[in-house]
Structure 1
Amino acid sequence: MKLEMNTTFNRELPVTYLKFLNENPDGCQIKNNGRWDKRTWNMFGKAALLERWEMKGVGEAANYECLKLYTYIQEEVGEIAYAPSLRFGRVKLERVAKGFVIGTENGDYLYLDPDCSFSVWAYYHDGGEVTKISGSFADFYKTRKPL
């Protein structure tokens, strides 16, 4: 999988994900049929990715970078440097904060992890846990079910 620099987000992103964004400019829903996740994710289009919002007392971020706000709270409240992972032990919060959020479902976030070959992970907002869902966006997209 070759990566491309995307000038909109000023970072490298997988070509398969950029192609997906171009084909789904308004976003879409993806029913995942993977081994570790069988939910329907609301995938962001470009405009939604760039939409900014504020978390009171923490700061402001675009949707694609919102994990930095959640991990900041985790560090401040829990004074911990790791997010528990359902299958991988612990993941450093600084790594989670760099995640590129691509979708949401019931308050949880689906994101690409640039420190792990842009694998696809889920961040569970109510407990701060994370789990790896797929080794790549291409594999994640292949396991989807048609809606």
Structure 2
Amino acid sequence: MKLEWSESFKQDLPVDYIHFLGDNPTGVLLKNSSRWDKRTWNLMGKVALLKRWEMSGVGKAANYECLKLYTTVQEEAGMEFTAPSAHFHSVKLARVAKGFVIGEENGDYLYLDPECKFTVWAYYHDGGEVALLSKSFKELVRTQKPL
């Protein structure tokens, strides 16, 4: 998987994802049909990804980097330094915080994990849990149907 520099996001991202953003400037709905996560994700376009917002008492972040706010809350609430995962024993909160958010659904986030070859994960905000959904962005969009 080749990576391409993205000036807007100041980091390397998978080429397939950069092309997706170019082809879908306003985003797209994507029906996920994995056996444990059957939902429709709103994959954000570039403008939505860059939109900044504030979490009261925690800080400000753009949508694509908002997991750092959620993991800060988890740490401040005394939760473990790892997020429980159905597919691994645990994932370090510092790793989750570096996730590049690409979509959302009902307060949960779909993100790329730069520390794990840009695999696609879901972050469930209610419990701070994470789940691996796909080995790559390319696989995610190839196996799912944009609406």
TM-score by length of 2: 0.97
Matched-pair identity in %: 66
> Structure 1 residue runs of 4+, over 3 Å off?
none
Change (3 A) 1:79 1:144: closer
Letter of the structure 2 residue corresponding to residue 46 of structure 1: K
Does the Cα contact within 8 Å between 2:113 and 2:121 map onto a contact in 1?
Answer: yes
Q: Does 1:91 align with 2:118?
A: no
Change (3 A) 1:142 1:35: farther
Does the Cα contact within 8 Å between 1:34 and 1:140 map onto a contact in 2?
Answer: no
Please report how far the alpha carbon of residue 106 of structure 1 lies from its aligned counterpart in structure 2 after TM superposition. Answer: 0.9
Show the counterpart of 1:13.
13
Could you say what secondary structure the match of 1:74 adopts? helix
Question: C-alpha distance in 2, partners of 1:52/1:146?
Answer: 26
User: C-alpha deviations, 1:93-132, integer Å up to 9, x for none?
Assistant: 0000000000001110000000000000000000000010
Please report how far the alpha carbon of residue 35 of structure 1 lies from its aligned counterpart in structure 2 after TM superposition. Answer: 3.9
Does the Cα contact within 8 Å between 2:28 and 2:146 map onto a contact in 1?
Answer: no
- Aligned residues, how many? 147
Structure 1: give runs of 5+ residues left out of the alignment: none
Letter of the structure 2 residue corresponding to residue 112 of structure 1: L
Change (3 A) 1:26 1:135: same
Show the counterpart of 2:128.
128
Does the Cα contact within 8 Å between 1:34 and 1:144 map onto a contact in 2?
Answer: no
Show the counterpart of 2:141.
141
Does the Cα contact within 8 Å between 1:118 and 1:136 map onto a contact in 2?
Answer: yes
Equivalent positions of 1:35-114 (< 5 A) are 35-114=35-114
Does the Cα contact within 8 Å between 1:119 and 1:137 map onto a contact in 2?
Answer: yes
Structure 2: give runs of 5+ residues left out of the alignment: none
Does the Cα contact within 8 Å between 1:31 and 1:39 map onto a contact in 2?
Answer: yes
Equivalent positions of 1:24-39 (< 5 A) are 24-39=24-39
C-alpha RMSD of the superposition: 1.0
Change (3 A) 1:136 1:79: same
User: C-alpha deviations, 1:43-83, integer Å up to 9, x for none?
Assistant: 10000000000000000000000000000000110242100
Change (3 A) 1:146 1:56: closer
Letter of the structure 2 residue corresponding to residue 40 of structure 1: T
